[in-house]
Amino acid sequence: MGNLVCSCRGEMPFAADTKEFLQDYPLTFIYLCMSGDQPAMESLIKQYQLSGDHYFLEEPLSRTLSNLLHTKGYPTYLIINPDGQIVNWNASRPSQKESLLAELEQLMKR
């Protein structure tokens, strides 16, 4: 997530509620900060109480990863299975928790 991007910040208030909503699923939430500065990212993590794994990626790694993941903008949400395969390249946002739940349930049936 780019920590200075408004659409990313707009999703942050929904993150804790969505995690609680999905607490019965074996999920790990991973946040990638692809732009901005690390102190600002750490401040947002604290402000929104974003639990999970957080990584700050600097150039050129952020650009390389963005190209590998075919991201077209921020925020981008993916669902990656336990084998490390991306199974949903355009997952619903935390603010769309009912849609996200439906996506996860569909994937669990596979």
What three-state secondary structure class fits 99? helix
In tens digits, the chain (110 residues) has pLDDT values of 444 567 788 899 999 889 998 998 889 999 999 888 889 889 999 999 999 999 999 989 999 999 998 888 888 999 999 999 999 999 999 999 999 999 999 998 87
What three-state secondary structure class fits 31? strand
Check whether domain 6-108 has CATH 3.30.390.30, yes or no: no
Res 65: pLDDT: 93
Res 105: pLDDT: 92
Res 109: pLDDT: 86
**Using H for helix, E for strand and C for coil, what is the string for 35-95?**
ECCHHHHHHHHHHHCCCCEEEECCCCHHHHHHHHHCCCCCCCCCEECCCCCEEECCCCCHH
Res 3: pLDDT: 41
Q: Where do the domains of the chain lie?
A: 6-108
Res 52: pLDDT: 93
Res 5: pLDDT: 62
**Whole-prediction pTM:** 0.84
- Backbone φ, ψ for residue 80 (5° rounding): -115, 130
Cα–Cα distance measured from residue 105 to residue 101, given in angstroms and rounded to the nearest whole number:
6
